C-alpha cells in the first residue's frame, strides 16, 4: 500500500471517528402539541449549529397521553425520555419522589433570579428547582369591547364577580346568538375543575382544611357553585356542560360570547387571523369578591430531566438553550415579539418592544396575582392554585368535575352535587390515608 | 324457487342500503373534507361545505412537521409482521381444535376469546416492565410480538370457524395417501382454506394498523407507527382540527384503500358460517 493511499485511509478513519464523536449523544424530548413547542422544533437549526454533538429527537403527544406515557416510564425507571415537558401539577409531586434532576446547577447566565417569582415558586421543592419554565400562563377575562360599549358599560381592569354578572346580563342577546359569558363546563381536572377551583379561591373556598378534611360542605363552596350555575344557566351558551377550552375558543372567535374567562394563552388566538372579532377584544384581570384573592390560575409548561436519563449533561444543555433569554430573543427575531413564549421571565416584561404586545401587561399582572403556595383566603396544606398537588388529585378532580358538570347539565342541584362531592372526596382521602 | 323482487322494492332496498352506508361513512367523509379546509373554516358554525375555504396547506404542514414515511413503514412492518406471525401460530392451533377436538376445546376457545375482554390498561405496567427488561421498548419486534398476542385469539377463532366447514374426509384421504402432519396442513388444508386465511389476514392487518393503545405506550421515536403520528397532532389548547384531520386522513388512507379493494374477501370472512 503506498503512502498516499495510507494517508487517505487514515484521514477517512479519523474523519469517521471524529464524526461519530461529534454526534454521539442523542436525547429524546417528550412534548405536547402547542404553538410554542412547534415553533421551537422549527428553530432547532440554532441549537444544532451551537451543539453539533447532540441530536434531538422529538416525541409529540396529546397532553393526557403524554402524561400517561411519561408517568409510566418515569415510575418504572425506563429512561426512554431525556427531557420531559411537564406542568406545574407534576413538578412538586415528581420532585419530592426523586424522579427529577435538580436544575440548580444550570449556568449563571441562565439567570434563575430572572424567573417570575410565582412561576419559580411552583417549580421549586425544598430549595431545588426541578423544572425550567418554557411558557407560563394564568387566566383572565377576555371581553367584547363593542358589546360592552353598546350596553353602556365599561369593564374595570380588575372586575368583581358582580361586575361580570352585570356585564353578562347586559351583553346576552339570544336572538343574535350572543351569550353574555362562556366558561368551561366539560368535566375534567384540567377542564371545568381548573376554572371552578380557581374561582372558588376568590370566594374563600378551599378543597381541604389544614387537616386534609374536604370542604365541599362549607358555605364558600355553596356560594361558588350557586353563582357559577346561575351565571351559566342565565347567560351561558346552550350545552355548556360539553364546552372546554377549544369549544369556547370556537364560540368566542365566532362572536358568540360577550366574555370568556380562560387561559391567557387564548389572547393570541382571539386576536389572531382565525378570529372574527380580533379587533374588538379587551382584557381584564380575573374577577374577585373583595376577599384578597382573584379567580385566576397559574400554569407553566416546563422542561424537566428525569433522573433515569443517561444523557444528563446533553439534556441540561438543551434545557438551558430552550429556556434561556437568548431563545426568547431568537423567537422575537424570527417570528416577532407576539410569538415569544410568555410568562416566564421578568426581563421579557421589562423589554420595551414586548410591552407593545397588547396582552403582555395583563398576562404579567394575572401571573403575579396568583400564589401557588397560598392559593386561597384560608390556609391550606397543599400547593397549587387550580389543582391540589397530590397524586390523588387527577382522579379526584375529574370525579368532582363530572359531578359539577352534571349539575350544569341540570341533572342535579348544587346542593346534591356538593354533598356528593364531599362524600366522594372524603372516602378517597380516607382510603389514601390522609384522614381517619 | 326464488321469490321475484319488484322494481319498487329493489329501489327502496337500494336507497336504504346507500343511506345506511352513508351514515356509517359520514364521519370519515367529513374528516376528509375538513382536512382540505382552513382552520377557521373547519370550526365554522353552521358547518361550511360549499362556501368553505379549501386549501392543501394542512397536508403541506403535516408533511413538513413529521417524518411520515417512517411512521408509515413502521405501521406496515408491525401490522403485517404481527398478522403473519399470528397466522403461523394460529393455523396449527385451529387445525387441532377443528379436527382433533378434546373435551375442553370449546372452553379453551371461549377462554382465549375472553382475554380480549380484559381492559388493556390493566396489564400495562407488567407488560411495560417485561418489555423494559427484555429491551423491547420502542422496537418493531416488540410491537410485532405485543400485537400478535393481542390479536391471536381472534385469528384462532376465525380460522377455527373456517376449518370446521372443511370436511374431515379430505384430510383423512391425504393421510391415507401418506401425507404427514406438516404436509397435511401445508399442502391440503391451507390451499382449501385460503379464502378464509386471506380474510383473517386482512382483518387482522386492519386491527393491527388501527391499534392505538399499545403502539403509543410501547414506543417513543424509532418504532412509532401512524397511531402515534395522529396523536402528535392532537392539541388541548388551540384549534388545529384541519391539521388533525389531514394527519388522520394520511394515516387511514392506506388501510382504507386496502379495505376497498379487498371488501369482497372481508365481507365473506366476516359472514362466513353466519347463514346455513
Sketch the domain layout of chain B as residue ranges: 66-232
Cross-chain CB nearest to B232 (options A61, A76, A78): A61
Task: List beta partners, residue A303.
Answer: A85, A132
Residue B65 and residue A69: Cβ atoms within 8 Å?
Answer: no
CA A2 to CA A333: how far, in whole Å? 54
The CATH homologous superfamily to which domain A139-298+373-431 belongs is Periplasmic binding protein-like II (3.40.190.10)
Q: Say if residue A371 is exposed, middle or buried (CB neighbours under 10 Å; 0-12, 13-18, 19+).
A: middle
Chain A residue numbers with beta carbons less than 8 Å from the beta carbon of B240 are 33
Which residues make up the CATH 3.40.190.10 domain(s) of chain A?
3-137+299-355, 139-298+373-431
Q: How far apart are the first and last CA of chain B?
A: 17
Residue A72 and residue B124: Cβ atoms within 8 Å?
Answer: yes
CB atoms inside a 10 Å sphere around CB B56: 10
Q: What are the pLDDT digits (tens) for A214-234?
A: 999 999 999 999 999 999 999
Claim: this prediction has a pTM higher than 0.95: no
Chain B interface includes A89 (CB < 8 A) = no
A122: three-class secondary structure by DSSP: helix
Residue A246 and residue B239: Cβ atoms within 8 Å?
Answer: yes
CB B22 within 8 A of CB B42: no
- HSE at residue B245, side-chain half, CA atoms within 13 A, is 24
CA A153 to CA A138: how far, in whole Å? 25
Residue A38 and residue B65: Cβ atoms within 8 Å?
Answer: yes
Task: List beta partners, residue A405.
Answer: none
Cross-chain CB nearest to B128 (options A63, A65, A72): A72
Instruction: Pick the residue from chain B with its C-alpha nearest to A76.
Output: B129
CA-nearest of A31, A34, A62, A60 to A265 is A34
* Fold of the B66-232 domain: MetI-like fold (1.10.3720)
Residue A81 and residue B232: Cβ atoms within 8 Å?
Answer: no
Cross-chain CB nearest to A263 (options B228, B235, B237): B237
- Give the three cell numbers for residue A52: 453539533
CA A155 to CA A165: how far, in whole Å? 11
Instruction: Pick the residue from chain A with its C-alpha nearest to B125.
Output: A72
**Average pLDDT along chain B:** 89
CB B113 within 8 A of CB B153: yes
CA A306 to CA A322: how far, in whole Å? 17
Q: What are the pLDDT digits (tens) for A192-219?
A: 999 999 999 999 999 999 999 999 999 9
CA A421 to CA A402: how far, in whole Å? 10
Q: Which of residues 192-251 of A touch B (CB under 8 A)?
A: 244-246, 249-250
Q: In angstroms, what separates the C-alpha of B156 from chain A's closest C-alpha?
A: 31
Chain A residue numbers with beta carbons less than 8 Å from the beta carbon of B234 are 33, 61-62, 65
How big, in percent rounded to 5, are the helix, strand and coil portions of chain A? 50, 15, 35
Chain A residue numbers with beta carbons less than 8 Å from the beta carbon of B220 are 28, 30, 57, 59, 80-81
Instruction: Pick the residue from chain A with its C-alpha nearest to B133.
Output: A78
Chain B residue numbers with beta carbons less than 8 Å from the beta carbon of A65 are 216, 231, 234
Chain A residue numbers with beta carbons less than 8 Å from the beta carbon of B43 are 250, 253-254
Q: Which of residues 342-371 of A touch B (CB under 8 A)?
A: none
The predicted structure's pLDDT at residue B4: 65
CB A384 within 8 A of CB A372: yes
Mutate to test the interface with A, among B133, B219, B220 (most CBs of A within 10 A): B220
CA A285 to CA A142: how far, in whole Å? 9
Dihedrals φ, ψ of B51, to 5°? -90, 10
Under the banding of pLDDT at 50, 70 and 90, the label for residue B237 is low
Cross-chain CB nearest to B221 (options A28, A41, A250): A28
Helices B68-99 and B194-210: crossing angle in degrees, nearest 10, is 140
Residue A72 and residue B217: Cβ atoms within 8 Å?
Answer: yes
CATH 3.30.70.920 fits A3-137+299-355, yes or no: no
Cross-chain CB nearest to B236 (options A38, A59, A63): A63
- Number of inter-chain CB pairs under 8 A, A vs B: 91
* Residue A160 DSSP label: B
Q: Which of residues 375-434 of A touch B (CB under 8 A)?
A: none
CA A188 to CA B253: how far, in whole Å? 33
Q: How far apart are the first and last CA of chain A?
A: 84
H/E segment holding residue B267? helix B263-271
- Give the three cell numbers for residue A292: 384578597
- Give the three cell numbers for residue B181: 402432519
Chain B residue numbers with beta carbons less than 8 Å from the beta carbon of A81 are 220
- Give the three cell numbers for residue A346: 421578568
Instruction: Pick the residue from chain B with its C-alpha nearest to A34.
Output: B235
How do A54-61 and A179-182 pair as beta strands? unpaired
Chain B residue numbers with beta carbons less than 8 Å from the beta carbon of A246 are 236-239
CB atoms inside a 10 Å sphere around CB B191: 9
Locate the DSSP E strands across A25-174: 25-32, 54-61, 83-86, 124-125, 128-129, 132-144
A142: three-class secondary structure by DSSP: strand
* Residue A132 DSSP label: E
Chain A residue numbers with beta carbons less than 8 Å from the beta carbon of B62 are none
Residue B44 and residue A58: Cβ atoms within 8 Å?
Answer: no
The predicted structure's pLDDT at residue B273: 55
Residue A78 and residue B132: Cβ atoms within 8 Å?
Answer: yes
Q: Which residues of chain A have pLDDT under 50?
A: 1, 11-22
Q: Say if residue B207 is exposed, middle or buried (CB neighbours under 10 Å; 0-12, 13-18, 19+).
A: middle
CB B90 within 8 A of CB B153: no
Residue A41 and residue B65: Cβ atoms within 8 Å?
Answer: yes
Chain A residue numbers with beta carbons less than 8 Å from the beta carbon of B45 are 250, 254, 256
How do A54-61 and A25-32 pair as beta strands? parallel
The predicted structure's pLDDT at residue B238: 67
H/E segment holding residue A354? helix A352-355
Residue A65 and residue B216: Cβ atoms within 8 Å?
Answer: yes
CA B253 to CA B255: how far, in whole Å? 6
**Quick one: CA torsion of A10, A11, A14, A17, rounded to 10 degrees?**
-110
Residue B40 and residue A263: Cβ atoms within 8 Å?
Answer: no
- Give the three cell numbers for residue A46: 440554532
Residue A33 and residue B235: Cβ atoms within 8 Å?
Answer: yes
Give Cα B206 distance to the centre of its chain: 2
CB atoms inside a 10 Å sphere around CB B144: 23
Dihedrals φ, ψ of A138, to 5°? -130, -160
B79: three-class secondary structure by DSSP: helix
**H runs (alpha helix) in B66-193:** 68-99, 105-114, 124-134, 140-165, 168-176, 181-183, 190-192
Residue B239 and residue A62: Cβ atoms within 8 Å?
Answer: no
Query: Range with the lowest mean pLDDT among A246-255, B28-37, B77-86, B175-184?
Result: B175-184
CB A53 within 8 A of CB A342: no
Cross-chain CB nearest to A69 (options B40, B217, B239): B217
Mutate to test the interface with B, among A84, A192, A246 (most CBs of B within 10 A): A246
CB atoms inside a 10 Å sphere around CB A225: 25
A377: three-class secondary structure by DSSP: coil
Cis peptide before B46 (omega within 30 of 0): yes
Task: List beta partners, residue A26.
Answer: A55
Cross-chain CB nearest to A81 (options B65, B220, B224): B220
Interface of chain B against chain A, CB under 8 Å? 38-40, 43-45, 65, 124-125, 128-129, 132, 137-138, 216-217, 220-221, 224, 228, 231-240
Cross-chain CB nearest to A78 (options B137, B236, B240): B137
CB atoms inside a 10 Å sphere around CB B160: 20
Amino acid at each position: 500500500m503506498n503512502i498516499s493511499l495510507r494517508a487517505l485511509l487514515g484521514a477517512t478513519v479519523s474523519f469517521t471517528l471524529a464524526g461519530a464523536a461529534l454526534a454521539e449523544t442523542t436525547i429524546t424530548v417528550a412534548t405536547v402539541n402547542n404553538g410554542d413547542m412547534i415553533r421551537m422544533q422549527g428553530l432547532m437549526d440554532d441549537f444544532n449549529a451551537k451543539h453539533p454533538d447532540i441530536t434531538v429527537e422529538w416525541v409529540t403527544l396529546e397532553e393526557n397521553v403524554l402524561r400517561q406515557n411519561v408517568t409510566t416510564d418515569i415510575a418504572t425507571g425506563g429512561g426512554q425520555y431525556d427531557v420531559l415537558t411537564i406542568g406545574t401539577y407534576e413538578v412538586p409531586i415528581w420532585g419530592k419522589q426523586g424522579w427529577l434532576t435538580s436544575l440548580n446547577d444550570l449556568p449563571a447566565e441562565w439567570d434563575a433570579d430572572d424567573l417570575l417569582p410565582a412561576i419559580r415558586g411552583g417549580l421549586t421543592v425544598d430549595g431545588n428547582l426541578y423544572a425550567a419554565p418554557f411558557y407560563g400562563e394564568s387566566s383572565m377575562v377576555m371581553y367584547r369591547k363593542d358589546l360592552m360599549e353598546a350596553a353602556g358599560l365599561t369593564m374595570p381592569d380588575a372586575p368583581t364577580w358582580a361586575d361580570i354578572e352585570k356585564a353578562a346580563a347586559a351583553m346576552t342577546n339570544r336572538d343574535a346568538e350572543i351569550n353574555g359569558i362562556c366558561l368551561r363546563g366539560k368535566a375534567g381536572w384540567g377542564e371545568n375543575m381548573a376554572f371552578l377551583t380557581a374561582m372558588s379561591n376568590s370566594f374563600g373556598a378551599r378543597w381541604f382544611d389544614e387537616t386534609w378534611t374536604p370542604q365541599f360542605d362549607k358555605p364558600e363552596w355553596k356560594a361558588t357553585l350557586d353563582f357559577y350555575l346561575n351565571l351559566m344557566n342565565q347567560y351561558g351558551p346552550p350545552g355548556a356542560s360539553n364546552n372546554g377550552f377549544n369549544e369556547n375558543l370556537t364560540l368566542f372567535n365566532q362572536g358568540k360570547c360577550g366574555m370568556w374567562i380562560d387561559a391567557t394563552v387564548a389572547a393570541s388566538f382571539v386576536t389572531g387571523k382565525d378570529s372574527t372579532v380580533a379587533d374588538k377584544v379587551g382584557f381584564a384581570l380575573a374577577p374577585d369578591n373583595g376577599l384578597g384573592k382573584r379567580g385566576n390560575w397559574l400554569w407553566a409548561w416546563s422542561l424537566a430531566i428525569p433522573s433515569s436519563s443517561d444523557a444528563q449533561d446533553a439534556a441540561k444543555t438543551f434545557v438551558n438553550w430552550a429556556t434561556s433569554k437568548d431563545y426568547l430573543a431568537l423567537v422575537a427575531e424570527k417570528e416577532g415579539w407576539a410569538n415569544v413564549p410568555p410568562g416566564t421571565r421578568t426581563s421579557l416584561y421589562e423589554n420595551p418592544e414586548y410591552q407593545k404586545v397588547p396582552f403582555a401587561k395583563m398576562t404579567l399582572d394575572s401571573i403575579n396575582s396568583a400564589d401557588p403556595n397560598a392559593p386561597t383566603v384560608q390556609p391550606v396544606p397543599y400547593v397549587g392554585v387550580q389543582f391540589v398537588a397530590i397524586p390523588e388529585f387527577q382522579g379526584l378532580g375529574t370525579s368532582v368535575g363530572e359531578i359539577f358538570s352534571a349539575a350544569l347539565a341540570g341533572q342535579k342541584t348544587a346542593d346534591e352535587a356538593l354533598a356528593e362531592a364531599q362524600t366522594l372526596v372524603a372516602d378517597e382521602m380516607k382510603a389514601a390515608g390522609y384522614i381517619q | 324457487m326464488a321469490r321475484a323482487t319488484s322494481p319498487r322494492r329493489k329501489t327502496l332496498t337500494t336507497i336504504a342500503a346507500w343511506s345506511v352506508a352513508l351514515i356509517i361513512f359520514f364521519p370519515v367523509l367529513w374528516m376528509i373534507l375538513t382536512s382540505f379546509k382552513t382552520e377557521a373554516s373547519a370550526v365554522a358554525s353552521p358547518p361550511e361545505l360549499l362556501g368553505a375555504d379549501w386549501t392543501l396547506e394542512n397536508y403541506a404542514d403535516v408533511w413538513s412537521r413529521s417524518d411520515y414515511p417512517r411512521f408509515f413503514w413502521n405501521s406496515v412492518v408491525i401490522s403485517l409482521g404481527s398478522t403473519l406471525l399470528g397466522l403461523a401460530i394460529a393455523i396449527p392451533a385451529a387445525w387441532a381444535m377443528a379436527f382433533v377436538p378434546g373435551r375442553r376445546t370449546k372452553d379453551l376457545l371461549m377462554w382465549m376469546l375472553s382475554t380480549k375482554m380484559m381492559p388493556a390498561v390493566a396489564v400495562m405496567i407488567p407488560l411495560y416492565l417485561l418489555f423494559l427488561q427484555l429491551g423491547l421498548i420502542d422496537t418493531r419486534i416488540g410491537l410485532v410480538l405485543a400485537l400478535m398476542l393481542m390479536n391471536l385469539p381472534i385469528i384462532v377463532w376465525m380460522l377455527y370457524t373456517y376449518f370446521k366447514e372443511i370436511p374431515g374426509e379430505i384430510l383423512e384421504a391425504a393421510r391415507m395417501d401418506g401425507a404427514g402432519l406438516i404436509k397435511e396442513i401445508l399442502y391440503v388444508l391451507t390451499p382449501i382454506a385460503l379464502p378464509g386465511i386471506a380474510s383473517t389476514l386482512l382483518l387482522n392487518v386492519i386491527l393491527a394498523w388501527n391499534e392505538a393503545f399499545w403502539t403509543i405506550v410501547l414506543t417513543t421515536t424509532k418504532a412509532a407507527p401512524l397511531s402515534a403520528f395522529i396523536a402528535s397532532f392532537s392539541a388541548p389548547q388551540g384549534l388545529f382540527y384541519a391539521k388533525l384531520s389531514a394527519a388522520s386522513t394520511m394515516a387511514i388512507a392506506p388501510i382504507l384503500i386496502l379495505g376497498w379493494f379487498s371488501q369482497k374477501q372481508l365481507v365473506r370472512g366476516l359472514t362466513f358460517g353466519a347463514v346455513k
